[in-house]
Amino acid sequence: MEDVVMQALFPSSTFWRGKRVLLTGHTGFKGGWAAMWLELLGAEVYGLALSPAAASGGEALWHAIGRPGNRCGFADIRDAAAVEAAFATARPDVVLHMAAQALVHASYDDPVTTFDTNVMGLINVLEAARRSPGLQAIVNVTSDKCYENTEQVWAYRETEPMGGSDPYSASKGCAELVTASYRRSFFNRPEGPLLASARAGNVIGGGDWSPDRLVPDCVRSFSRQADVLIRNPLSTRPWQHVLEPITGYLMLAQALIERGADAAQGWNFGPPDDDAWPVGRIVDALAQAWGSGVGWVRDETVRPHEAMLLRVDASKARLGLGWRPRLPIGEGLAWTVDWYKSVAAGQSARTITMNHIRAYEALSGAAK
C-alpha cells in the first residue's frame, strides 16, 4: 500500500504540468533547485526573492540553474505592496514560501531583520494569499529548528512545542505559530486554499555558497588546498541532500490539492537516524571525496550558542504522504562534491543539476 501512495505522489509532470507556482526565495539555495525541478516538471514558475546579488550566495546559483524564465520579480518580502503585486502577476495555483533569513549566526548579528523577514514577511505572503483568486495550496517552509530544543536524545515530532534559543530558531517557531493561526482563522474553508508547513533538516547539495555554513565552508577551504575550521565537530544534525526535502514540499502541495484538509498540518522531512551524523564525520567524508589530503582543524573562536543535538522524526510524512528518504547521506555528500568539482572544472552547472534531478527521480521508480 505504501508503494502505491509513493507512486501516486512523487513529483511528476502529470500533476505539475501547467500549474502556476509562486515560489518565494527562488534565488536562494533550496529555491534555485526547486525552481529548476518545477520547470523540468512543466510548471509555470513565478519567482519572488531578493535580487541574486543580495541573496546569500545566490548569484552564482541563480545564474547557473535557478532562473524561472522571465517570470521573476526581485523584492523584499517585508514589502507588503511588492508581495501583493507578485500575487497579482502570478495568479498562482500553488505558493511555495521559501524566502527567509536562513542563517543562525546572521540572526545574532541582526535579530530585527531576522524576525521581520521570517515572521512579518510570512504574514505579508499569507495576507496576499487570502486575496488571491484561484489559489489552491500554500506550503510554508520553516525549519527543524522551530522546536524548543532541549538536547533530548530522541527525535522531535510534530506535536513537540515550538521554541528556539537563537533569533533564527525562535523566528521559525514564531512562523509555525503564525501558520497555525492563519490556518485555523482564514484557510479553513472548503472552497479556499489550504495551508501546511514543512520542517526540514540541514540540507546539502551543489550551489550553496552561503557564508558560515558547513559545506560551503569546506568547499571554499578545500578549493585552495586548506584545512577547514570546524566549530563543533561533535554537533549532530539531520543531514539530507537538498532534493529530499524539496520532494517533500512538492508532495505536500499535491496532497493539499488532491487530499484536502487532512494534509493541512505541519510535517517533518528528515533523514533516518543512521544519517544524523556529527559534523566531524560529515567533514571527513567530504574531505575523502574531495581528495588532495585536505581535512579539518578545530576552531577555538568563542561563538554564540548552537545546539549540539537535533533530529526530527519523519514517520508522519512516511505514513501520511508516502514520502521517504531515497539518497543516503554518504551518497548525497558524493553528489555534492561532484557538483562543486564539476563546476570548478568548467562544466555547466545547469546540466549537472539537471542530471542530479534526473538521477534522483530514477531512484523513485516513478513513471514520468
More confident residue, 114 or 348: 114
Q: Is the pLDDT of residue 67 over 70?
A: no
Confidence tier at 63 by pLDDT (50, 70, 90): low
Q: What is the pLDDT of residue 5?
A: 40
More confident residue, 226 or 212: 226
Q: How far apart are the first and last CA of the chain?
A: 20
Grid cell locating 304: 554564540
The answer to whether 253 and 137 are in contact (CB under 8 A) is yes
Tell me the mean pLDDT in the region 285-306. 81
Q: What is the pLDDT of residue 96?
A: 98
Tell me the mean pLDDT in the region 25-45. 92
DSSP per position, 17-60: TT-EEEEETTTSHHHHHHHHHHHHTT-EEEEEES-TTTSTTHHH
Q: What is the pLDDT of residue 2?
A: 38
Q: What is the pLDDT of residue 301?
A: 74
Q: Is the pLDDT of residue 204 over 50?
A: yes
Q: What is the pLDDT of residue 70?
A: 54
Cell 501512495 found at: 5
Distance CA 277, CA 125 (A): 35
Rg over CA atoms, the chain: 19
Q: What is the pLDDT of residue 305?
A: 57
pTM of the model: 0.92
The number of angstroms, rounded, from the C-alpha of 282 to the middle of its chain's C-alpha atoms is: 19
Distance CA 221, CA 224 (A): 6
Predicted confidence (pLDDT) per residue in 230-270, tens digit? 988 888 888 999 999 999 999 999 999 999 999 999 999 99
Q: Residue 34 contacts by C-beta under 8 Å, 6 or more apart in sequence?
A: 23, 26, 96, 98, 246, 249, 250
Q: Is the pLDDT of residue 228 over 70?
A: yes
**Beta-sheet strands, E only, within 62-185:** 72-74, 94-97, 137-141
Grid cell locating 53: 546579488
Predicted confidence (pLDDT) per residue in 152-174, tens digit? 778 889 999 999 889 999 999 99
Please write down the long-range contacts of 287-294, taking CB distance under 8 Å and 24 or more positions apart.
Answer: 287/218, 287/222, 289/333, 289/334, 289/337, 290/218, 290/222, 290/337, 290/341, 292/222, 292/225, 294/221, 294/222, 294/225, 294/226, 294/227, 294/228
- Angle of helix 121-130 versus helix 80-90 axis, rounded to 10: 40
Mean pLDDT of the chain: 89
Grid cell locating 173: 517557531
The answer to whether 142 and 98 are in contact (CB under 8 A) is no
Q: Which residues pair with 138 in a beta bridge?
A: 95, 195
Confidence tier at 303 by pLDDT (50, 70, 90): low
Grid cell locating 11: 513529483
Tell me the mean pLDDT in the region 223-233. 91
Distance CA 281, CA 315 (A): 25
Q: What is the pLDDT of residue 368?
A: 39
Predicted confidence (pLDDT) per residue in 79-93, tens digit? 999 999 999 999 999
Predicted confidence (pLDDT) per residue in 329-365, tens digit? 999 999 999 999 999 999 988 899 999 999 999 987 6
Angstrom distances, CA of residue 353 to CA of 37, 348, 350, 357: 9, 9, 5, 6
